[in-house]
Structure 1
Amino acid sequence: MKRRDFFRNAALTAAAATVTSPFSSLGNSRNHPPQGRGKVARNIIFMVSDGMSAGTLTMANMLSELRDGRLSTWMSLYHDGTVSRGLMDTASANSLVTDSSAASSAWGGGVRVNNGVLNVAPDGSRPIPILQKFKAAGKAVGCVTTVPITHATPAGFCVNNDSRSAQAEIALAYHDLRFDVMMGGGTEYFDSERRKDKQDVFGKFRKSGFRVVQTRDELLAADAAGDAAPLLGVFHADGLPYALDREHDEQLKNNTPSLAEMVESAIRRLSKNRNGFVLQVEGGKVDWAAHANDIGGLLFDQLAFEEALATAIAFAKADGDTLVIVTTDHGNANPGLFGGTKDFERVFRFRHTNDWVLQGIDRDFTAAQVRERIEHAHGYAISANEAIQLLAHYVTDRNEDGLYNPYKLPFADLAAIQRKYTSVGWASTGHSGDHVEVAAFGPGQQLLRPFVRNTDMHHLMLEAAGVAANVNRSGRF
């Protein structure tokens, strides 16, 4: 099938549906690139389920099989034997346990950097990020994520910066780099009312010829218009809503696109470039849910990511010139199922995440109200003593730690209670040093070896696309 037929027949949406929406029916290792021969990839789609431990991939597939009677997208690729598969070492320059900025920089710059920085090597050098290389080589480039578009994983493919926290600065860097499609959350880094310097960064993008969209309807309208302008889509403050909460809130569904919808839109726009494209896609809320030990947030966002993966694979099959790489940057919290099927099946009936539950409780709640809220969200009732235990966190000074927890909510405590009802346990609330899954489909997949360092993926992408490793920012080789 030709690419034009793929889009004309809306095959992206149909193909994604074959894997089913998750809510339907219920130091550097190399100084040289890896070697190999084969067809050159015109396009590359690099898919990252951020913070996905092996247990997350396993339980998402269990949920898919038990509920829908079929393998998850990722497991279907393994089952069908259509991908090359390997394990990847994820360490950063200064730690066996990486953070997302160092992990993405390893892919983006081909050099291991210290945790917390973006493409700034320990010796102070600043390797050219890979999307700048591909842009200089004439390809359309972009990033799509469910967390702020200025966050560590997309930024690692795009910019050099001494701090991953400089997100307001990164937003301005995106403007100057003029990437073709950038979509995610992070309104506070673009809106003049929310930026500390009061710059109207949205307005700056518009004046420079970007199509700026801030709602799902505006994104759909931009797709229908079919213009060739570069696109900035920022749909929510901070991260986008969790997929599970979005599915059960009509306002969120109407206002914010799903990851699969953003990916379809990005592919449609980027594929107009005659020299091909490179797109990074991140399921960033998988990582945030793992930090929170939030099993509903984790698994339904993983399935939403896999719906987006199905969209990418469908395009790659129809196109024939697209390499899809799917992986994660590191493990997180190492969740696992430690009990029977019937307990785990309760997750199928979840209507909301633990984040939704805890955000809606305050110190004036009674134990009965806490139990009622959890029963509405999860379909089971905790005990009165367990509800009192949770309430205690709201009437004393909160000292709960963990990333992405600005309100100091008792995520770990709720997860410990929840294990009794779901049989899901957690090793921690932080990243792990595990080797992680990586798979490749399409032209160039033969370059993936059974074991790689994270930096190897930088060289693999360049070689697969036939782009010289030393292309510079001016486009000269």
Structure 2
Amino acid sequence: MKKLVLITVCLFSMLSMYGREYKNIIFMVADGTSTAGLTLTRWYNYYLDSTRTQLALDPYFCGMVKTHSSNAPIGDSAPTMMQYMTGFLSQTGFLGMCPPPDPNDLLYIDPRSAYRPRMTVMEAARIFKNKAIGLAFTCEFPHATPANTTAHWHKRSEYAVIADQMVHNQIDVVFGGGASLLSTENQKFLAEQNYTVCLNDLTKFRQLQTPSCWALFGETALPNELDRDTLKYPSLAEMTRKAIELLNQHKEGFILMVEGSKIDWAAHRNDAIGMISEIQSFDAAVQEAIRFAQADSNTLVVVVSDHGNSGISIGNSLGDNFYDKLSLYDLMEPLAHARMTAEGLANYLIPLSKDSIPVILKREWGMEISIPEINLIEYARQNYRKNPNGRNKDSYIDQIANVMKQRSYIGFTTHGHTGEAVFLAIYSPDGQHPQGLITAPELNAYLCEASGIHDKLNQLNEEYYCPVTDLFQEKSYKIETIEKAGKFYLVIRNKQHQIRLKAYNNQVEQGKNKMYYTQTPAIYVDKTGKWYVSREIKHFFE
């Protein structure tokens, strides 16, 4: 523990030199984006319009960030985002919660911290600095990156547990995907707390005037930017602009997290045009953030990726013998006629006949395809129609993406993540910020400094995610866990008082008709049978 404290002190001492506290912070994550993906997008933009020589984020590049899991050099979105939010390394699948030790750990993991929640910089800014907090993203809201801002769990796929925590963690603005994942119970709770909830309602979203609002679109994730119906879905740039407009009403300032979620998804599918169009969409959101920050003069914008993906390269084995002779036309022309992503084409083709496949590929991508390619796409399509699971959908989309891969000089080494350091770009009004190669925990320390939390994140964690057995050690208290209809409840009583808390919820019941609310939700960890609660609840027994 002394070693951990010393490391934390050193991080904050080193990073305190980088300027001042800011009223507002906009933290932007280009999920799964490598520098090669940015370079490809830059060349693509220039090929279509020679006046477009830069991305919006280009003037603000200042370094790189070393990200990885606690037990592997190649990181997953959950542990890498957790590093940015909490300063702690973790394993695949963990959100805002410490992992158990693993034989492959790259550094010491304290077994006493296993499955313990860790407070995030966004939670801390809300509680300690009274800042408004908001999220804008294009995946479903309980997905790894947005979930890591305000949820704490050991299995990122358990959306119901994660969604409950996010709903009960007092986020002021939530814009993104996942309308079907906001349960009726959670919708009712938000309404009781005077939130405005917009589900698949673009008009209502655009009419929002005040914070305390959730606007979700699509059953799960939003469509890719290139496939987006502009009459049904907002762009990431529009959601970013709207979130800033609403959060900026808060006099103490705000922290907004913006994620270009589906860059990563397109990379997994080796879909070059999908990656380009999603990076373009993210860069437009960056432009919105920078425009606001420059006018405001008290806003910090931090733009970063969380890990690489796909090993994308400009140049592949098709050009091994003449790579230095490839013109910009050779590299970009195969991509330039695409009007849909591979995922968009896959969705469009699902209800159509086999005969439609070459017609649609010609119309939307400008490509003639062979009979063997048609047969491979049709086989994958039929498999998905018979059994529409994630694996079959990925295989189906991959077959379509392969058509472009085999006709372009854009290379890929994998369908998975890659372990290179990721880019860092920062706009700060005073020009003082980290430079060079830093680690993800160091970036967390910088965010804590910039938001005014400084070195208090661990202290706040002890205050708001305290083991209930540490808080009620006296023998006069009885602590009981009750399971009812798959839900977990914590009952604490002594001779004078009794309270009941529901897992992943910030409500405290006292008696039959009294309901109170804590700053953070109570966390019941099924792996250990332990509860973590806010120390506020001790006041109910005074």
TM-score tier, shorter chain, comes to: 0.7 to 0.9
Partner of residue 95 from structure 1, selected from 56, 72, 79 = 72
- Identify the residue that residue 432 of structure 1 maps to in structure 2: 418
Structure 2: distance between partners of 1:303 and 1:96? 28
Q: Which amino acid aligns with 1:130?
A: V
Structure 1: distance between partners of 2:341 and 2:148? 29
- Identify the residue that residue 22 of structure 2 maps to in structure 1: 41
Query: Compared with structure 1, are the counterparts of its residues 407 and 467 closer, same or farther at alpha carbon in structure 2 (3 Å cutoff)?
Result: same
- Identify the residue that residue 168 of structure 1 maps to in structure 2: 160
- Identify the residue that residue 186 of structure 1 maps to in structure 2: 178
Is residue 384–residue 393 contact of structure 2 (8 Å, CA) maintained in 1?
Answer: no
Structure 2: distance between partners of 1:332 and 1:53? 7
TM-score (norm 1): 0.83
- Identify the residue that residue 212 of structure 1 maps to in structure 2: 197
Residues 365-404 of structure 1 correspond to what in structure 2 (within 5 A)? 365-366=353-354, 368-394=355-381
Residue 130 of structure 1 and its aligned partner are, at CA, apart by 1.2
Residue 138 of structure 1 and its aligned partner are, at CA, apart by 0.8
- 1:417 aligned to 2:403? yes
- Identify the residue that residue 195 of structure 1 maps to in structure 2: none
Partner of residue 158 from structure 1, selected from 150, 168, 173 = 150
RMSD over aligned CA atoms reads 2.7
Partner of residue 203 from structure 1, selected from 150, 170, 188 = 188
Partner of residue 239 from structure 1, selected from 221, 224, 236 = 221
Is residue 68–residue 419 contact of structure 2 (8 Å, CA) maintained in 1?
Answer: yes
| Deviation readout 1:404-449 (Å, 9 max, x if unpaired) | 5553433333333322323222111111111110111114753313
- 1:128 aligned to 2:128? no
Q: Which amino acid aligns with 1:346?
A: P
Structure 2: distance between partners of 1:188 and 1:51? 25
Q: Identity of aligned pairs, percent?
A: 26
Structure 2: distance between partners of 1:417 and 1:84? 34
Structure 2: distance between partners of 1:294 and 1:244? 12
Structure 1: distance between partners of 2:39 and 2:434? 22
Residue 325 of structure 1 and its aligned partner are, at CA, apart by 0.6
- 1:467 aligned to 2:453? yes
TM-score (norm 2): 0.74
Is residue 321–residue 443 contact of structure 1 (8 Å, CA) maintained in 2?
Answer: yes
- Identify the residue that residue 313 of structure 2 maps to in structure 1: 336
Residue 264 of structure 1 and its aligned partner are, at CA, apart by 0.4
Structure 2: distance between partners of 1:66 and 1:400? 41
Structure 1: distance between partners of 2:399 and 2:329? 22
Q: Which amino acid aligns with 2:80?
A: A
- 1:296 aligned to 2:273? yes
Report the 3-state secondary structure (helix = DSSP H, G, I; strand = E; otherwise coil) of the residue aligned with 1:298. Answer: helix
Structure 1: distance between partners of 2:292 and 2:132? 16
Normalized per residue, the structure richer in strand is 2
Is residue 334–residue 404 contact of structure 2 (8 Å, CA) maintained in 1?
Answer: no
Report the 3-state secondary structure (helix = DSSP H, G, I; strand = E; otherwise coil) of the residue aligned with 2:302. Answer: strand
- Identify the residue that residue 266 of structure 1 maps to in structure 2: 243
Query: Compared with structure 1, are the counterparts of its residues 364 and 148 closer, same or farther at alpha carbon in structure 2 (3 Å cutoff)?
Result: closer
Structure 2: distance between partners of 1:218 and 1:72? 37
- 1:358 aligned to 2:346? yes
Is residue 216–residue 254 contact of structure 1 (8 Å, CA) maintained in 2?
Answer: yes
How many residue pairs end up in the alignment? 428
Report the 3-state secondary structure (helix = DSSP H, G, I; strand = E; otherwise coil) of the residue aligned with 2:72. Answer: coil
- Identify the residue that residue 497 of structure 2 maps to in structure 1: none
Structure 2: distance between partners of 1:135 and 1:98? 28
Query: Compared with structure 1, are the counterparts of its residues 362 and 84 closer, same or farther at alpha carbon in structure 2 (3 Å cutoff)?
Result: closer
Q: Which amino acid aligns with 2:414?
A: S
- 1:112 aligned to 2:103? no
Query: Compared with structure 1, are the counterparts of its residues 65 and 133 closer, same or farther at alpha carbon in structure 2 (3 Å cutoff)?
Result: same
Which region of structure 1 is more displaced relative to structure 2, 43-52 or 406-415? 406-415
Structure 2: distance between partners of 1:449 and 1:290? 27
Is residue 191–residue 197 contact of structure 2 (8 Å, CA) maintained in 1?
Answer: yes
Report the 3-state secondary structure (helix = DSSP H, G, I; strand = E; otherwise coil) of the residue aligned with 1:38. Answer: coil
Q: Which amino acid aligns with 2:121?
A: I
Report the 3-state secondary structure (helix = DSSP H, G, I; strand = E; otherwise coil) of the residue aligned with 1:234. Answer: strand
Residue 342 of structure 1 and its aligned partner are, at CA, apart by 2.7
Higher Rg of the two aligned structures: 2
Structure 2: distance between partners of 1:72 and 1:235? 33
Is residue 353–residue 377 contact of structure 1 (8 Å, CA) maintained in 2?
Answer: no
Q: Which amino acid aligns with 2:191?
A: R
Structure 2: distance between partners of 1:444 and 1:50? 27
- Identify the residue that residue 451 of structure 1 maps to in structure 2: 437
Structure 1: distance between partners of 2:251 and 2:377? 57
Residue 202 of structure 1 and its aligned partner are, at CA, apart by 1.9
Residues 26-65 of structure 1 correspond to what in structure 2 (within 5 A)? 30-31=7-8, 32-33=11-12, 34-65=15-46
Is residue 333–residue 427 contact of structure 1 (8 Å, CA) maintained in 2?
Answer: yes
- Identify the residue that residue 19 of structure 1 maps to in structure 2: none
Structure 2: distance between partners of 1:67 and 1:319? 33
Residue 98 of structure 1 and its aligned partner are, at CA, apart by 1.0
Is residue 84–residue 445 contact of structure 1 (8 Å, CA) maintained in 2?
Answer: no
Q: Which amino acid aligns with 1:135?
A: R
Structure 1: distance between partners of 2:132 and 2:383? 52
Residue 188 of structure 1 and its aligned partner are, at CA, apart by 2.4
Report the 3-state secondary structure (helix = DSSP H, G, I; strand = E; otherwise coil) of the residue aligned with 1:254. Answer: coil
Query: Compared with structure 1, are the counterparts of its residues 354 and 117 closer, same or farther at alpha carbon in structure 2 (3 Å cutoff)?
Result: same
Report the 3-state secondary structure (helix = DSSP H, G, I; strand = E; otherwise coil) of the residue aligned with 2:168. Answer: helix
Structure 1: distance between partners of 2:431 and 2:391? 38
Residue 70 of structure 1 and its aligned partner are, at CA, apart by 3.6
- Identify the residue that residue 264 of structure 2 maps to in structure 1: 287
Is residue 363–residue 395 contact of structure 1 (8 Å, CA) maintained in 2?
Answer: no
| Deviation readout 1:375-406 (Å, 9 max, x if unpaired) | 122122222332233323345699999x9555
Query: Compared with structure 1, are the counterparts of its residues 400 and 54 closer, same or farther at alpha carbon in structure 2 (3 Å cutoff)?
Result: farther
| Deviation readout 1:351-392 (Å, 9 max, x if unpaired) | 1111122234459833x4221111122122222332233323
Report the 3-state secondary structure (helix = DSSP H, G, I; strand = E; otherwise coil) of the residue aligned with 2:220. Answer: coil
| Deviation readout 1:151-175 (Å, 9 max, x if unpaired) | 1001112221122112222222122
Structure 2: distance between partners of 1:255 and 1:410? 26
Is residue 196–residue 214 contact of structure 2 (8 Å, CA) maintained in 1?
Answer: yes
